[in-house]
């Protein structure tokens, strides 16, 4: 059995908007969410900027008990899932709950609590470590808390593949619905690791931008790019089998029709030269959807603002799309949100769906210096109206993980 799969709900909490409407409006306006770090004193750190959530208080979204028992990355997932489920209009009942899955990835889990409790252990001894440290920090707890909060009793998985975690989660949920293992999935990614160790660790890798101007620091595909900017947040979709959605009269936002997953098997942090792994992931997604490369209208690129990623992703697009690469519109949401690591694929899937709905492409901001190795159409600085029937979303993770999702207008 092979079924069509559609999107009926989306939710997001990001550095430029605490729900989908706020987020999408800010994207269209080219608003940067990057600023000085406020979550800890970064004055002695080589990097002092990040894309943090603004005006975030978990008690504005969750009851006091839920907020206290969840770490920040789990809170984000529960909040975005609530928005997506509300949009979908799906009623979870005893009759259908075991056919609703929860596939939510994260790259790091609660790095912040690990740091805090390690310090407490060293200073005060083992008796002072928080009783709930383990169930709060483990990476699968975002999926677990979403399932608990909304009563979802179908398959539940947490995929950890660094910056590809969100896209892999959506892709695997899509396949599980397509082949009949469940009818509905709440799926995406979440991340919150703007912490002392998170910033220090990525700084030590020389992966982060050291641009002194926060608003100019994230500049994917630009000749002046020098590293990514850490971000945080969550993006969640509700996927459904088409027949299930039609039977309950759901509003269909888009269709998910293809998924490609490959591994570079090359390097711990660098994509393979030539972008061969990323190219293969795009080709697999296009083939599964039964389309031609020339039918792709838009690519939401991984576009991290690091020298190698943007160069090799550009090469990957050329390999996969051939002559059509010069005609397709490409943008990077990370130019405004920073890099949300394991949440990036979920948030950027939301962007693809909004682009399909509104036939609009947000800009890639901070396009100022031409890079001859990044010579495609990255929708520089100003968004545009454009017919978007088919969209690809790319995610590439440390370890060589590649994932591509293909969304299209529902017909």
Rg of the Cα atoms in the chain:
20
Tokens of 292: 């031609």
Residue in 97, 158, 163, 352 annotated catalytic: 163
**Which of 275-308 are b and which e, b meaning 16 or more Cβ less than 10 Å from the residue's Cβ?**
bbbbbbbbbbbbebbebebeebbbbbbbbbbbbe
Cα(52)–Cα(349) distance, integer angstroms: 20
Tell me how crowded residue 396 is: count the other CB atoms within 10 A of its CB.
32
Closest CA relative to residue 195, chosen from 337, 76, 37: 37
Please give the biggest Cα pair distance in the chain. Answer: 64
Please name the residue ranges forming H helices in 111-163.
111-124, 133-137, 141-150
Considering only CA atoms, which of 394, 100, 87, 403 is closest in space to residue 253?
Answer: 87
Spell out a b/e string for 154-186, using b for 16 or more CB atoms within 10 Å of the CB, else e. Answer: bbbbbbbbbbbbbbbbbbbbbbbbbeeebbbbb
Active site residue 163: yes
| Integer Cα distance of 103 and 94 in angstroms | 20
Which residue is listed with tokens 């454009």?
Answer: 386
Distance CA 398, CA 163 (A): 7
Residues known to be catalytic: 163
């Amino acid at each position: 059995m092979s079924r069509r799969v559609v999107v009926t709900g989306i939710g997001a909490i990001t550095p430029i908007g605490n729900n989908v409407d706020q987020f999408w409006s800010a994207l269209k306006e080219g608003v940067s969410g990057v600023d000085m770090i406020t979550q800890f004193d970064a004055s002695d750190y080589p990097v002092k900027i990040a894309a943090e959530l603004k005006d975030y208080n978990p008690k504005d979204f969750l009851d006091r008990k839920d907020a206290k028992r969840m770490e920040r990355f789990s809170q984000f997932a529960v909040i975005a899932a609530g928005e997506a489920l509300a949009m979908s209009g799906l009623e979870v009942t005893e009759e259908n709950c075991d056919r609703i899955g929860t596939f939510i990835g994260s790259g790091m889990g609660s790095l912040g609590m690990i740091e805090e409790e390690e310090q407490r252990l060293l200073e005060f001894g083992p008796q002072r470590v928080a009783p709930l440290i383990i169930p709060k920090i483990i990476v699968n707890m975002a999926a677990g808390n979403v399932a608990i909060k909304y009563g979802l009793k179908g398959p539940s998985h947490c995929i950890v593949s660094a910056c590809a975690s969100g896209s892999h989660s959506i892709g695997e949920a899509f396949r599980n619905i397509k082949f009949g293992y469940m009818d509905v999935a709440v799926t995406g990614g979440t991340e919150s690791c703007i912490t002392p160790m998170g910033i220090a660790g990525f700084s030590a890798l020389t992966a982060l931008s050291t641009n002194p101007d926060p608003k100019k620091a994230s500049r994917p595909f630009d000749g002046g790019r020098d590293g990514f900017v850490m971000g945080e947040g969550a993006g969640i979709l509700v996927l459904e089998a088409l027949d299930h959605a039609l039977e309950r009269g759901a509003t269909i936002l888009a269709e998910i029709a293809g998924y490609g997953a490959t591994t570079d098997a090359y390097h711990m942090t660098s994509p393979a030269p030539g972008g061969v792994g990323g190219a293969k992931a795009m080709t697999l997604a296009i083939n599964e959807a039964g389309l031609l490369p020339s039918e792709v209208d838009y690519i939401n690129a991984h576009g991290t603002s690091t020298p190698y990623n943007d160069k090799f992703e550009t090469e990957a697009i050329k390999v996969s799309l051939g002559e059509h690469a010069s005609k397709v519109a490409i943008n990077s949401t990370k130019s405004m949100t920073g890099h949300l690591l394991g949440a990036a694929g979920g948030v950027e899937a939301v962007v693809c769906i909004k682009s399909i709905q509104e036939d609009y492409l947000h800009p890639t901001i901070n396009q100022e210096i031409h890079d001859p190795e990044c010579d495609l159409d990255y929708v520089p600085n100003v968004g545009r109206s454009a017919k978007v029937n088919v969209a690809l979303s790319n995610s590439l993770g440390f370890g060589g993980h590649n994932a591509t999702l293909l969304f299209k207008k529902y017909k």
